[in-house]
Chain A
């Protein structure tokens, strides 16, 4: 640490010894090539963090120093640079639509760089693209927009978590966080999805969902390695750099946006509607079995004679159980300021009710951003965002599972009696868990209060030097209340989850997370010779995170519906404290030559509290090179721009806290009789852990044709993660179940293509096409010797058909293992199921189950991509986005249950006698006819519970389905009222937009929309079925500016 002190002092001395240069104020107007004023053009002083944006008249004002280079950038217009000449006070700029040559993008640490100067791929989406899909969760707004970025959600629940993975999963550790770092206005913020306190099967939010998309100016995706090297280890999985909207000097403007949305389930599974309640083909309204009875007609024929009421028609209880959801979001923002001070403040409220009954989410957000130019040399600013969010998070897993058990002859929406007790589906409604009643009486409500604040100081003692300091706080409390209602009277029908530990329960979880970040850096830019520019950056950052949780459960409620811990007979508590601290020292040396060759070398040293003292300091470098060929040579006709880029980065990575020693925990199940028990922790920490490292190389090119009307950006990357820190499963006889070790390596390599074109552009009309394509290939290179595989996750299936995701050496991430029908002549040692080989049929005439798990599919797509079209005619703009994901499989747990309970349409053949196509063990063709139904068949043989229960449901193969899809992700029509219309009123601007999401879906998958996953953890993307279904939604948005 001493070295740090010295460096810091040196930097301070350096600062103190520097002088100042003269300043001046520049004003001007920015217009498009049609002469129209461009609103919101970003103007940045190159090499510093300062800048402004144009107002509604395209006017701007900026304090600069002579010799400063101003970079004007505007989406769709590229960027233009101007150098401030001595004495100059007015700079008017005209920008060309479609010109993207000198586009400025935000890079690591929020530094604006010219896109052409970068040696790695960066993609940025702006506010318009963010809000186009009306997604309340900012992560979902990235769906299909950026190559290399895969968004997966746990379904369409209000406020539901989404997961973002950039360039593939790069950790073998099943518990690892593989998501990128989120940075808002220079400070890293939490995007964790905490499932503690009963939130595991509930659709809790990822914390970025707290942010109001209306407040966001832009999101930049830094995809890894070279792009994020300056951010350090926390950005080892990439980074999403979010810039919020700022105030602009000029008149006070008020902006009102109001959105109403309505939604419905976009895809239901098919169910059979022929067979009713009972078993073995015998009708029984008291049967547990929802659909193994006779047909409804047969049941009616016999019911009267047996003294039973007339059997009902069958409901499709999947369609019946779900309702229409709706939402309102209103945002008001006020912004303005003068040359010295600017501000923007907004307040927003979202109320969302989902398609699954009782699922709700509310979000209230208040934000203020302010900046003050104290002098020519010193400016500062800051922002505060307060958010309150949460709602009733339903248990979609249990809900959907219970729907399978529920007999379709009963109406699941008829769920509660006048006395408040549950109506079941059998024994006159006294028995059988009603999932709707379950959601009505068993709730999980989270209540988050979050503060995100940042303060920035910028000081430029002289024009070449800019010193920036940012301090940030991200703090939230999350009060979670999970409760189940006791029975309304002794013996009243009640939902079983309410009774699992006595009569009703309350679980309260209190979480406080506090992340403090501090980042100081200095940038020195200098033109060394007219051809050679230098930029030097050095900085220091610190990160301090603390987590504090207390969970208290009270079981056995005295008053059945008083959900207070005071009302519980048996109280149990657990708590956890976690601290993590990081320090980093970083530097970046960038050189540009002839505006054609750009070289950047970075180095960073991190110190992490989570690693052993001896290994907690680690250094890693990156180097990137960009060459703009057009500046060095004459390009062929038709080719307007060619850039080649190459980069390398090694990024170190620490581990989770408390993995370096052996500890003893209070034993579970204690205290008993007020005595506490202790036990050795199952995980052995390693006192000699060393940091992980990911080495990435990246090559890319940016080609533009026909005066930039067509462009192609192609990237190849290869990232190898070595020395991965994994809890390696070991023999229990070691005294532990896992040892934490540096124990494996994995590679991701892939291609990202981005094709942009403007096929038509006239004064009034334009058509833009944007196509992106991503292909990632993963390989597990090495796992600690003696460890057969690493289990990432499992999903239950009946009769041994559970699916598991395992990693083994030489195979990609995400292979789904499970049982299958045995294949004749298949190689026993083959890891994969030989689908082409004939089925092996047993002596009983049925397919034989292969109990050795085979690889049945993979959870990671072969490729994915999107096609985005935007057509604009005067004030009218239409955009639509098609997304696809191809070559991906998923285990459908619902499908497994559908076969076990006779719900699936294919079980309609249950009363047929067939001969299975396949061969016997001796190789001869199978000729034995078998009855598929239950009980004694036409041949006099007793078939017991029947083919579907005895055999079909026990083969995981039957439920690992292709989960590919094509979808119309988004269709949006927006009309901006012409300003001429508004001239007479006080309204400055007005627009109306109609949006539809998920309007069309094509997939071979039989369950709900396969985009919905079981949850937000590693491996959850391979499991679906009992998920919160995805939705098709429609929005109307009104925007008025005053």
Chain B
């Protein structure tokens, strides 16, 4: 054998070797940048998701527990833990809120880096709204140490400090919004609440300020005059409501109604709410009720008792539910964050507190009227209802809370009212089989916190009040 004749094969082999090794430069391994995601997000896209989700979070909190606590809704299942206040943590709502606040945090951070004042100012309002839901439902919570990813176990800010933060965020937004007109605009449709209308945002800031100042009604810091001043700069019409009307498929309450129709049960109206509107509790039939729900097989509006579960075996329509024809549960119903009607009831409450009965009367009437008009009750029926229910009596605090309860149907804000009002709604009683001897005053921290952040999470029970609830 002559080695020379085999040399072509050797060269071939050497070539293979070389080809192989050329491929293994350092670049070859640099393929770990995720091609399906962005390292820096489009800020219009962050605004889109956070503005949309701020509204969806109202639903998360309400459907998570507050709608059951204030007895807007009741479970068809006996002894449902939300109905009976059993160890309620509302973990889903907590994570929704923190997911949204994380994106808002990034929106503010990147927006400030890029000089996008519009994005930043709106983001601060959104942050205030979401943080408001956190503190009003759970109390103390991580904020100043949160969202950075730098610490595994973020520390908690006290509820009082969080309120200071909320007011600071609103003040900053208030100050920055006028100047934001000059900042670069964003893509149309990215702001799901006001589509970039900065005046509308300015009014919403004042409306929110009125809400959070009014939350302090039971504290020494309560200042009705400050509330009324904020009211003056707030909404002047229900067309200015902060709400979202575009959804992935449908309004989430419509999804509940749809699911219920498909036997994935939910959205059953509580007897407390139905009785308040069908004449049982107050002797007056509220024209809003037929617009919100269905009649049962006997053509009656019937609610479900919280904690007691369904009446029949589920084969007949014995109760009233959220339905796809309902004013708040149509596919395209607005999902409210804060409304003109709420502002009017805040005004009425503050006016009463400051002794201005006339202003209270006007605001109260305007609140009821707005609530009814918004869902299509005609003026004659409104006048008739107001006359039948209240006649010429002076409006008092009970009237304000009664009507605000109805006007804010499904809003998580009502649970704040219920606690400030000590659940003194007429005929309001503990759920059947209640796990607590008294009404709940807060929800517990979710397992994700007690498991993963045990060192920081405060040890609280559902009957420990939030600082403004005294």
Contact of B189 among A657, A660, A675 (CB under 8 A): A675
B449 touches A731 (CB 8 A): yes
Q: How far is the CA of A658 from the CA of B21 in the complex (A)?
A: 25
Cβ–Cβ contact B142 & A675, under 8 A: no
Tell whether, in the assembled complex, residue A732 and residue B149 are in contact, meaning their CB atoms are under 8 Å apart.
Answer: no
In the complex, chain A residues 520-551 whose Cβ is within 8 Å of any chain B Cβ: 520, 540, 542
- A289, B248: Cβ atoms closer than 8 Å: no
Q: Known contacts being A540-B20, A731-B449, is A672 close to B247, with CB within 8 Å?
A: yes
CA distance A674 to B452 in the complex (A): 38
Q: In the bound complex, do residue A786 and residue B153 qualify as a contact, i.e. CB atoms below 8 Å apart?
A: yes
Write out the residue numbers on chain A whose beta carbons fall within 8 Å of the beta carbon of B6.
20, 375, 377-378, 461
Q: A635 contacts the other chain (Cβ, under 8 Å)?
A: no
Bound form: Cα–Cα A609–B189 in Å? 40
Cβ contact within 8 Å between A786 and B13: no
Task: Flag if B315 contacts A730 (CB, 8 Å).
Answer: no
A901 interfacial contact with B, CB 8 Å: no
Contacts of A570 in B (CB 8 A): 249
CA gap between A8 and B142 in the complex, in Å:
55
Partner of A678, one of B42, B246, B263: B42
Interface residues of B in 170-203 (CB under 8 A from A): 187, 189-190, 192
Does A558 make an interface contact (CB < 8 A)?
A: no
Chain B residue numbers with a CB within 8 Å of A9 are 21
Cβ–Cβ contact B152 & A786, under 8 A: yes
* Contacts A672-B247, A729-B448; A786 near B454 (Cβ below 8 A): yes
Q: Is the CB of B152 within 8 A of A678?
A: no
Q: With the chains together, A520 CA to B18 CA distance in Å?
A: 11
- The size bracket of the interface on A is 35 or more
Docked Cα-Cα span, A1 to B78, in Å, equals: 67
Does B151 lie at the interface of the complex (its beta carbon under 8 Å from any beta carbon of A)? Answer: yes
A672–B52 contact, CB under 8 A? yes
Of the candidate stretches A123-131, A210-218, A576-584, A691-699, the one touching chain B is A576-584
Contact B46 A679 (CB under 8 A): yes
Bound state CA distance, A461 and B11, in angstroms? 12
Q: Within residues 595 to 626 of chain A, which ones have a CB less than 8 A from any CB in chain B?
A: 607-611, 613, 616
**Chain A residues positioned under 8 Å from B249 (CB to CB):** 501, 570
Q: Judge whether B26 and A1 touch: CB under 8 Å.
A: yes
Pair A1/B149 contact, Cβ less than 8 Å: no
B34 & A669 in contact (Cβ 8 Å cutoff): no
- Most B CB contacts (10 A, CB to CB) among A501, A608, A663 go to A663
| Alpha-carbon distance A680/B44, docked complex (angstroms) | 14
Cβ-defined contact, B20 with A520, below 8 A: yes
Query: Given that A15-B14, A467-B13 are contacting pairs, would A673 and B154 also be in contact in the complex, using a CB cutoff of 8 Å?
Result: no
Query: How far does the Cβ of A232 sit from chain B's closest Cβ, in whole Å?
Result: 15
A731 touches B448 (CB 8 A): yes
Residue B392 is within 8 A (CB to CB) of chain A in the complex: no
Q: Quick one: which of B99, B145, B263 has the most chain A CB within 10 A?
A: B99
Tell me if B1 is interfacial: C-beta within 8 Å of chain A: yes
Q: A496-B262, A733-B154, A786-B455 are in contact. Are A376 and B1 (CB under 8 A)?
A: yes
Expressed in whole angstroms, the Cα–Cα distance for A378 and B12 within the complex equals 12
A12 touches B23 (CB 8 A): no
B34 touches A663 (CB 8 A): yes
Q: What is the chain B residue whose CB lies nearest that of A500?
A: B262
Q: Which A residues lie within 8 Å of B146 (CB)? A: 733-735
Contact status B24-A4, CB under 8 Å: yes
Residues of chain A within 8 A (CB-CB) of B42 are 676, 678
Contact with B along A199-219 (1 / 0, CB 8 A): 000000000000000000000
Q: Give the complex CA separation of A663 and B39 in angstroms.
A: 5
Q: Which residues of A contact B23 (CB under 8 A)?
A: 542
Asked if residues A581 and B29 are in contact (CB atoms below 8 Å), the reply is yes
In chain B, positions 138-162 with a C-beta closer than 8 Å to chain A are: 141-142, 145-149, 151-154
- Do B187 and A675 have beta carbons less than 8 Å apart? yes
In the bound complex, residues from chain B placing their C-beta under 8 Å from that of A613 are: 30
B70 to chain A, nearest CB (A): 25
Asked if residues B17 and A667 are in contact (CB atoms below 8 Å), the reply is no
Given known A-B contacts A461-B10, A469-B16, A731-B449, A287 and B313 have beta carbons under 8 A apart? yes
- Of chain A, the residue at the smallest CB distance from B94 is A732
A922 part of interface (Cβ distance < 8 Å): no
In this complex, what residue of B is CB-closest to A467?
Answer: B13
**Chain B residue contacts of A787, Cβ below 8 A:** 451-452
Q: Which of B106-125 contact A (CB under 8 A)?
A: 106
| A16 interface residue per 8 A CB criterion | yes
Of the residues A611, A664, A678, A682, contact of B99 by C-beta under 8 Å: A682
Is B98's beta carbon under 8 Å from chain A?
Answer: yes
A609-B31, A675-B48 are contacts. A16–B10 as well, Cβ < 8 Å?
Answer: yes
User: Which residues on A sit within 8 Å (CB–CB) of B78?
Assistant: 944
Does A609 lie within 8 Å of B313, measured CB to CB?
no
Determine whether B102 belongs to the interface, using a CB cutoff of 8 Å to chain A: yes
Residues of B contacting A279 with CB < 8 Å?
Answer: 313
Which of A376, A377, A730, A789 is packed against the most chain B CB atoms within 10 Å?
A730
Q: Pick the contact of B29 from A16, A577, A616, A731 — CB < 8 Å? A: A616
Task: Determine whether A288 belongs to the interface, using a CB cutoff of 8 Å to chain B.
Answer: yes
Interface size on B, residues (CB 8 A): 78
A8-B18, A672-B52 given as contacts; is B41 within 8 A of A680 (CB)?
yes
Contact of A581 among B16, B17, B31 (CB under 8 A): B31
How far, in angstroms, from A542 to B20 measured CA to CA in the complex? 9
Structural contact, B246 and A665, CB atoms closer than 8 A: no
Pair A610/B154 contact, Cβ less than 8 Å? no
Residues of A with C-beta under 8 A to B106: 664, 680
B380 within 8 A of A: no
CB A354 to nearest CB in B, in angstroms, measures: 30
- Asked if A733 and B142 make an inter-chain contact with CB atoms under 8 angstroms apart, the answer reads yes
0 or 1 for each of A566-587: is its CB under 8 Å from B? (1 = yes): 0000100001110111010000
CB <8 Å contact, A734 and B152: yes
Residues of B within 8 A of A616 (CB): 29
Contact B147 A672 (CB under 8 A): no
CA distance A540 to B17 in the complex (A): 10
A730-B31 contact, Cβ under 8 Å, with A16-B14, A279-B313:
no
* Least distance between A206 CB and chain B CB atoms (Å): 25
CA distance A8 to B13 in the complex (A): 12
List, in ascending order, chain B residues with CB within 8 A of A540's CB.
20-21
Q: Could you tell me if B315 and A286 are in contact, using CB atoms closer than 8 angstroms?
A: yes
Residues of A near B154 (CB, < 8 A) are 731, 733-734
**Interface residue? B283 (CB, 8 A):** no
> What CA separation (Å) do A499 and B262 show in the bound complex?
9
Contact B37 A609, beta carbon cutoff 8 Å: no
Determine whether the beta carbon of B9 is less than 8 Å from that of A459. Answer: yes
Q: Which of A12, A457, A676, A788 touches B45 (beta carbons < 8 Å)?
A: A676
B313 and A289 contact, CB distance less than 8 A: yes
Please list the residues of chain B having a beta carbon within 8 angstroms of any beta carbon in chain A: 1, 3, 6, 9-10, 13-14, 16-18, 20-21, 23-26, 28-42, 44-46, 48-49, 52-53, 78, 94-95, 98-99, 102-103, 105-106, 141-142, 145-149, 151-154, 187, 189-190, 192, 246-249, 262-263, 313-315, 448-449, 451-455
With A457-B16, A579-B31, A678-B103 already in contact, 18 other A-B pairs whose C-beta atoms are closer than 8 Å: A8-B21, A279-B313, A286-B315, A377-B9, A467-B13, A583-B24, A657-B31, A657-B34, A663-B34, A666-B45, A667-B45, A672-B247, A677-B48, A679-B49, A681-B37, A730-B452, A732-B449, A736-B149
Q: What are 26 A-B contacts with C-beta separation under 8 Å?
A: A1-B26, A8-B18, A8-B20, A15-B14, A16-B14, A22-B1, A287-B315, A378-B9, A457-B13, A461-B6, A467-B13, A540-B20, A542-B20, A542-B23, A611-B32, A665-B37, A666-B45, A669-B247, A673-B246, A674-B189, A677-B48, A680-B102, A681-B37, A729-B448, A739-B152, A786-B153
Q: Pick the 6 closest A-B CB pairs, nearest first.
A: A677-B49, A678-B45, A733-B142, A664-B41, A663-B37, A732-B98
Binding site for B on A (CB under 8 A): 1, 4-5, 8-9, 11-12, 15-16, 19-20, 22-23, 279, 286-289, 375-378, 457, 459, 461, 467, 469, 496, 499-501, 518, 520, 540, 542, 570, 575-577, 579-581, 583, 607-611, 613, 616, 657-658, 660-667, 669-670, 672-682, 684, 728-737, 739, 786-789, 944
